[in-house]
Amino acid sequence: MLCIISPNTNPYFNLASEEYLLKCFQEDVFLLYRNIPSIVVGKHQNTLAEINLPFVQEKEILVARRISGGGTVFHDLGNLNFAFFTSGKEGELVDYKKATRPVIEALNEMGLEVKMGKRNELLLEGLKISGTASHVFKQRVLHHGTLLFSSEIRKLSAALKSVQNRFTDRAVRSVRSKVTNIQDHLKEQMDVELFQQKILGHMLQTNKDARLYKFNAADIKEITALHDLKFSTWEWNFGYSPKYQFCRSISFNSGRLDIHMNVEKGVIKELKIVGDFTSRKDIALLEQMLIGSIHDPETLRIRLSEIKLSEYIPGLENEEFLAGLY
């Protein structure tokens, strides 16, 4: 088994490295990495429905999508991510108990009584410290998960506090759970770097063929290509979301309006704006101006930059309208 500590804290690089190790390596691999503040959504989720977009933009939190299913998670440098890459027979590849056993054993050695929950999460004193997910590619499987060690729990909660009932879709919804940091339950105090070394040390000691491996220049070239062409792109992180309907009501000084849109592959296909206002210009012109645009704040801001919104909807400014599109 190859044991790797990622040299990078960029979520797009690390998620790209997971796909690379899954598809391009034959040996078993154990990977550890940490990310700068970021939200990572599951492959089949509607990104905008999972995140608190204004908070994420204000705090400059990166948004990424992984190749596995499951729910949305928050990463920061106080969170340690683990990933196992193994080969096997078709139909016998996904085994969460087997995959997480080494991690649970390592935590047990630190005096922590950790158990697996009903949704394959790891629980410490009944509180969630890890979410897990998997992805199969041919005869190989990726099992990966988080380990909340010293994460900013308040930022985690705020970043994932999405507004309900604005989106209608068939996307997988996240199940929110009460969480805790591992550091708060340790008898022996340590920082996240030492915690990472202890997890790595356990893997090296308990697997006879385990050895350290560092990404070489060829590895980094392939991972960087995946980073650039897929994992850092709007098309993957937002546009890959299942088609959805968005509905929202906006109250402003001069009245109220309702926005209805259908979005497919991140592109606004249909848009209807109705309300108790008298439009100075044909509201259909405004609708047509936005149809065909991607459902992205900056792109829509640019599309509206050459008009004055109040000429279409008296009393409503451009930024107020833009805020109502999310």
Domain holding 234, by residue range, is 2-239
Indicate if the pLDDT at residue 245 is higher than 90.
yes
Does 221 lie in the same domain as 208?
Answer: yes
Give the span between the Cα atoms of 44 and 72, in whole angstroms.
10
Does 273 lie in the same domain as 234?
Answer: no
Look at residues 239, 270, 289 and tell me which one is the last residue of a structural domain.
239
The answer to pTM > 0.95 is no
Does 276 lie in the same domain as 177?
Answer: no
Does 152 lie in the same domain as 12?
Answer: yes
Express each pLDDT in 249-303 by its tens digit. Answer: 888 877 788 999 999 999 999 999 988 877 778 999 999 999 999 999 999 999 9
The residues near 75 (Cβ < 8 Å, ≥ 6 apart) are 11, 34, 35, 36, 37, 38, 39, 40, 81, 146
Q: What is the DSSP letter of 179?
A: B
Does 128 lie in the same domain as 225?
Answer: yes
What pLDDT does residue 165 have? Answer: 72
Look at residues 239, 259, 279 and tell me which one is the last residue of a structural domain.
239
| Per-chain mean pLDDT for the chain | 93
Express each pLDDT in 303-316 by its tens digit. Answer: 999 899 988 888 88
What pLDDT does residue 171 have? Answer: 67
Does 50 lie in the same domain as 153?
Answer: yes
Does 225 lie in the same domain as 127?
Answer: yes
Give the span between the Cα atoms of 4 and 270, in whole angstroms.
47
What pLDDT does residue 251 have? Answer: 85
For residue 307, the domain's CATH number is 3.30.390.50
Domains: count for the chain: 2
Q: Which of 294, 288, 326 is nearest to 307 (CA)?
A: 288
Q: What is the DSSP letter of 185?
A: G
Q: How many helices (H) and strands (E) does the chain have?
A: 11, 16
Amino acid in position 220: I
Q: Which of 275, 273, 56, 264 is nearest to 163 (CA)?
A: 56
Look at residues 204, 239, 274 and tell me which one is the last residue of a structural domain.
239
Percentage above 70 pLDDT, the chain: 97
Does 186 lie in the same domain as 293?
Answer: no
Does 185 lie in the same domain as 38?
Answer: yes
Spell out the alpha helix ranges (H) of 164-191. none
For residue 148, the domain's CATH number is 3.30.930.10
Does 230 lie in the same domain as 256?
Answer: no
